């Protein structure tokens, strides 16, 4: 019986206009927040970390992707807004899916664009910005640890 109902529902769904299908999917599907975050690589195996005013651990820069926005555009926007940095994206991004938090992070490797080497907090959200050696990282937010692991799993794209 359940199989027949499922088949009937699929046939009805197939007849719906595209707009109505989207409404159905958005109503019954789980929603996820999408973030665009990055590891900013510097000289001598250093990475740039940020400490947000509302968190005690250090993290990597980035933020939420707005509806209709590409993740790379969101990343660039967030970096300009939060730390005044223009970047060059290096290679393909990794993804981190946190089903419990219903969050997907698109994780990029980047480096500061020419002429954009000075960074400082430009948003009240950011308390500190600093370069750290990969071999001597401070206490990191769990999302930053996951992002670094995801990029390491991709390997070196350069």
- Average pLDDT, integer, range 60-78: 97
Share of the chain above pLDDT 70, in %: 97
Mean pLDDT of the chain: 92
Q: Residue 45's closest CA among 111, 141, 122?
A: 111
pLDDT in tens, 96-121: 999 999 999 999 999 998 877 678 99
Residue 156 banded pLDDT, cuts 50, 70, 90: low
3-state percent helix, strand, coil for the chain, nearest multiple of 5 = 35, 35, 30
The answer to whether 42 and 111 are in contact (CB under 8 A) is yes
- Average pLDDT, integer, range 113-134: 90
- Residue 4's H or E segment, with its range, is helix 2-15
The answer to whether 60 and 81 are in contact (CB under 8 A) is no
Alpha-carbon gap, residue 60 to 141, rounded angstroms: 8
Residue 157 banded pLDDT, cuts 50, 70, 90: very low
Alpha-carbon gap, residue 105 to 57, rounded angstroms: 18
The answer to whether 134 and 114 are in contact (CB under 8 A) is no
pLDDT score recorded for residue 37:
98
The answer to whether 129 and 120 are in contact (CB under 8 A) is yes
Q: What is the pTM of this model?
A: 0.82
Across 21-25, 32-36, 65-69, 87-91, least confident range: 21-25
pLDDT in tens, 10-44: 888 888 899 988 888 888 888 899 999 999 999 88
- Residue 143's H or E segment, with its range, is helix 142-154
Burial of 60 (0-12, 13-18, 19+ CB in 10 A): buried
pLDDT score recorded for residue 146:
97
């Amino acid at each position: 019986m359940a199989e027949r109902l499922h088949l009937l529902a699929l046939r009805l769904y197939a007849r719906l206009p595209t707009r109505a299908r989207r409404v159905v999917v958005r109503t019954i599907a789980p929603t996820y927040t999408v973030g665009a975050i990055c590891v900013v690589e510097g000289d001598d195996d250093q990475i740039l970390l940020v400490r947000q005013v509302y968190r005690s651990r250090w993290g990597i820069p980035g933020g939420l992707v707005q509806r209709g926005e590409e993740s790379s555009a969101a990343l660039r926007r967030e970096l300009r807004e939060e730390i005044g940095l223009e970047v060059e994206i290096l290679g393909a991004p990794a993804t981190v899916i946190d089903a419990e938090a219903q969050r997907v992070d698109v994780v990029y490797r980047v480096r500061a664009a020419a002429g954009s080497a000075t960074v400082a907090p430009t948003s009240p959200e950011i308390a500190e910005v600093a370069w750290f050696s990969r071999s001597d990282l401070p206490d990191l937010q769990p999302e930053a640890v996951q992002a670094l692991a995801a990029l390491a799993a991709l390997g070196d794209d350069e």
